[in-house]
Structure 1
């Protein structure tokens, strides 16, 4: 792979063939996508839209089949989108800091393993909230800004091949308290919980480089390394009125 600065998005172009190798470089991203999808309920009616911000190669798509959403994936890299498009989703080229979507157009917004890569966290959160309808759901996962997270994700992770060298810039890791506060500024109440790979699944992948089945991501007692977030956008007076009209119309 080319020598690049940490967190350079061009790395994903060089790694494009890894997106759909379940036992390959992005194995843990497959596991996290499945865990993320478990937090997303079936669509409450026809025409519901789910926006997958920073969708990469579309790893969330298989886990949404049968849930009834129009799945729109937005990503900066064309190479990943070409992998995502055949997976049953609408692939859109765009930046998560300026989503090419209308305000209040999404019933669910998903941000999986993207917030630790953005250089403008407030702007990104503002965009996620802008496209989310009042009463809509946000689901995310990201990496905490702790010494333990830097040790596991960068120092050890890169040494043992859990993450490609240079994929993360630990200066961009996101403390939960900051993320909760950013979402609260836009009327989204976010709750977080720690998660981690199962020891059995991680060992099987590291030692044997084989695909892992079952539940390779499990709850963790701490948010110190990886954590999920789930929240809903406040209806407000205008939002409550619109929500009532839509439900009656549906």
Structure 2
């Protein structure tokens, strides 16, 4: 029987360790979001380019990092997740995403996907991502907005429907306004462009009926639920 844990308790990922790579498992939507995140990354600029993946989980970005030509370094706190990430070609580092034991400017690209809504200080995570990023490097983040609509979609509805978030995985009190991320990045030399995104309605309906195929994340005019942000670190 699963342990009774508080919302957003990191130990939930230990209990859900078998779900990361299970076809149509509880983390299936994270695979779709990882693909959308990767779509914002440029190809590796040279043959030793490094992608630092903050809160890498079990390495869902691995196939995308390999396709784009990056050496994939993953940072996470959950040991079973990092063990799986290693099996998928990720160089794992067990660390807090606000205190990564890597040098300033070591990364050609940094991603922070589906983590900012899980931490008490998302601005600190963005600051650390910017520290790791070399001048001219690319930062990509995605998270959940701090709105009533996001709470309804992600928690009230999402935790009750097949394919939605595992119950208790989010604490809506930690959802993040875009301005928090944009302002934090700007303080560290990265100007972010924010866009909304959502699952393709047609593909999502098909998936819910058949449990087959993948669902593409598509741009949305609204950032009220999910949003992405991408930017380049200033050369000066």
**TM-score (normalizing by structure 1):** 0.90
Instruction: Tell me the SS of whatever aligns to 1:80.
Output: helix
Instruction: Tell me the SS of whatever aligns to 1:223.
Output: coil
Return the offset for 1:135: 1.3
Return the offset for 1:69: 1.1
Q: Residues 205 and 2 from structure 1, CA distance in 2 versus in 1: closer, same or farther, beyond 3 angstroms?
A: farther
Query: Which residue of the partner structure matches residue 201 of structure 2?
Result: 199
**Structure 1 position 189 matched with structure 2 position 171:** no
Count of residue pairs the alignment pairs up = 234
Query: Which residue of the partner structure matches residue 56 of structure 2?
Result: 55
Query: Which residue of the partner structure matches residue 221 of structure 2?
Result: 221
Task: Give the conservation status (yes or no) of the 8 Å contact 1:23–1:205.
Answer: no
CA distance in 2, matches of 1:202, 1:3: 30
**Structure 1 gap ranges (5+):** 237-250
CA RMSD between the two structures: 1.2
Greater Cα shift, 199-208 or 121-130:
199-208
> Alpha-carbon deviations, 1:75-98, whole Å to 9, x = none?
010010111101122111111011
Query: Which residue of the partner structure matches residue 45 of structure 2?
Result: 44
CA distance in 1, matches of 2:203, 2:20: 19
Return the offset for 1:227: 0.7
Return the offset for 1:202: 1.9
Instruction: Tell me the SS of whatever aligns to 1:182.
Output: helix
**Structure 1 position 95 matched with structure 2 position 96:** yes
Instruction: Tell me the SS of whatever aligns to 2:191.
Output: strand
Task: Give the conservation status (yes or no) of the 8 Å contact 2:111–2:140.
Answer: yes
CA distance in 2, matches of 1:175, 1:157: 20
CA distance in 2, matches of 1:66, 1:124: 26
CA distance in 2, matches of 1:201, 1:19: 21
Query: Which residue of the partner structure matches residue 174 of structure 2?
Result: 172
**Structure 1 position 31 matched with structure 2 position 32:** yes
**TM-score (normalizing by structure 2):** 0.96
Return the offset for 1:190: 0.5
Q: Which runs of 4+ in 1 moved over 3 A?
A: none
Task: Give the conservation status (yes or no) of the 8 Å contact 1:49–1:70.
Answer: yes
Return the offset for 1:9: 0.6
**Structure 2 gap ranges (5+):** none
Return the offset for 1:28: 0.7
CA distance in 2, matches of 1:115, 1:139: 12
Return the offset for 1:66: 3.2
